[in-house]
A and B are shown apart, each in its own frame.
Chain A
Amino acid sequence: MDKIELKNLLFLAKIGIADKEHPKIIEKLTNTFDLIDEMNELDLDKVQPLNNPLELNNVSRKDSDNDRNAKKDFLENSPESDEDYFIVPKIIE
Chain B
Amino acid sequence: MNFKTQREKFRSKSISAKEAVQETIKRAKTDKLNIFINCFESEALSKAEHIDNNFAKFKDQPLSGVPIAHKDIFCTKDLITTCGSRMLKDFKPPYDSTVIDNCNNAGSIMIAKTNMDEFAMGSSNETSFFGPVSNPWSENLVPGGSSGGSAACVAADITCISTGTDTGGSIRQPAALCGITGMKPTYGLVSRWGMIAFCSSMDQAGPFSKDAFGCAALLDAMASYDLKDSTCSKRKKICYEKSLNDNLGNLKIGVIKNIEDLGIHKNILNSYETSKTVLQGLGHELKEIDFSELSSGICSYYVIAPAECSSNLSRFDGVKFGHRSAKQKDISELYMQTRSEGFGDEVKKRILIGTHVLSAGFYDAYYLKAQKVRRNIKNKFEEIFKDVDLIFMPTTLDQAFEKNRESSDPNRMYKEDLLTIPANLAGLPAISFPNGLKNNLPTGGQLVGNYFSESLLLNITNKIQEVTDWHKMTP
Interface of A with B (CB < 8 Å)?
A: 9-10, 12-17, 25, 28-29, 31-40, 42, 44, 47-54, 56, 58-59, 61, 70, 73-74, 76-80, 86, 88-91
Binds A, one of B322-330, B383-391, B457-465: B322-330
Mask: chain B, 381-418; 1 = CB below 8 Å from A; 0 = not = 00000000000000000000000000000110011000
Q: B349–A79 contact, CB under 8 A?
A: no
Closest 4 CB pairs of A and B: A53-B427, A49-B371, A73-B94, A79-B324
Q: B94–A74 contact, CB under 8 A?
A: yes
Q: B414–A35 contact, CB under 8 A?
A: yes
Q: B201–A53 contact, CB under 8 A?
A: yes
- Nearest-neighbor residue (CB-CB) of B188 within chain A: A54
- Given A14-B339, A15-B352: A42 touches B296 (CB 8 Å cut-off): yes
Q: How far is B423's CA from A53's CA once the two chains are assembled, in angstroms?
A: 10
Q: B324–A80 contact, CB under 8 A?
A: yes
Q: How far is B321's CA from A86's CA once the two chains are assembled, in angstroms?
A: 10
How many residues does chain B have at the interface if contact means C-beta atoms less than 8 Å apart? 70
Q: How far is the CB of A29 from chain B (nearest CB, A)?
A: 6
Mask: chain B, 289-304; 1 = CB below 8 Å from A; 0 = not = 0000001101110110
Identify which of B187, B296, B323 contacts A54 (C-beta below 8 A): B187
Contacts of B357 in A (CB 8 A): 36
Contacts of B202 in A (CB 8 A): 53
Q: B227–A61 contact, CB under 8 A?
A: yes
Q: A35–B411 contact, CB under 8 A?
A: yes
- Nearest-neighbor residue (CB-CB) of A56 within chain B: B231
Identify which of A32, A77, A89 contacts B302 (C-beta below 8 A): A32
List CB contacts (< 8 Å) of B331-373 with chain A: 331-337, 339-340, 343, 348-349, 351-353, 355-357, 359, 366, 368-373
Q: A89–B331 contact, CB under 8 A?
A: yes
Q: How far is the CB of A9 from chain B (nearest CB, A)?
A: 5
Mask: chain B, 404-441; 1 = CB below 8 Å from A; 0 = not = 00000011001100000000011110000000000000
Q: B411–A34 contact, CB under 8 A?
A: yes
- Given A14-B335, A42-B296: A50 touches B231 (CB 8 Å cut-off): no
List CB contacts (< 8 Å) of B202-216 with chain A: 202
Q: How far is B314's CA from A12's CA once the two chains are assembled, in angstroms?
A: 11
Contacts of B295 in A (CB 8 A): 38
Q: How far is B78's CA from A76's CA once the two chains are assembled, in angstroms?
A: 11
Q: Is B319 an interface residue (CB 8 A)?
A: yes
Q: How far is B375's CA from A90's CA once the two chains are assembled, in angstroms?
A: 47
Q: How far is B230's CA from A58's CA once the two chains are assembled, in angstroms?
A: 7
Q: A48–B410 contact, CB under 8 A?
A: no
- Nearest-neighbor residue (CB-CB) of A73 within chain B: B94
Q: B340–A16 contact, CB under 8 A?
A: yes
Contacts of A59 in B (CB 8 A): 227, 230
Q: B336–A78 contact, CB under 8 A?
A: no
Q: A38–B427 contact, CB under 8 A?
A: no
Q: How far is B28's CA from A62's CA once the two chains are assembled, in angstroms?
A: 46
Contacts of B188 in A (CB 8 A): 54, 56
Q: How far is B369's CA from A40's CA once the two chains are assembled, in angstroms?
A: 8
Q: How far is the CB of B190 from chain A (nearest CB, A)?
A: 13
List CB contacts (< 8 Å) of B296-316 with chain A: 296, 298-300, 302-303, 310, 314
Q: How far is the CB of B317 from chain A (nearest CB, A)?
A: 7
Q: A50–B299 contact, CB under 8 A?
A: no
Q: How far is B292's CA from A42's CA once the two chains are assembled, in angstroms?
A: 12
- Nearest-neighbor residue (CB-CB) of B357 within chain A: A36
Q: B373–A42 contact, CB under 8 A?
A: yes
Given A31-B411, A53-B428, 15 extra CB contacts under 8 A: A13-B310, A13-B339, A14-B317, A14-B332, A15-B343, A15-B351, A35-B411, A36-B302, A39-B296, A42-B376, A49-B372, A56-B231, A58-B230, A79-B321, A91-B331
Q: A89–B296 contact, CB under 8 A?
A: no
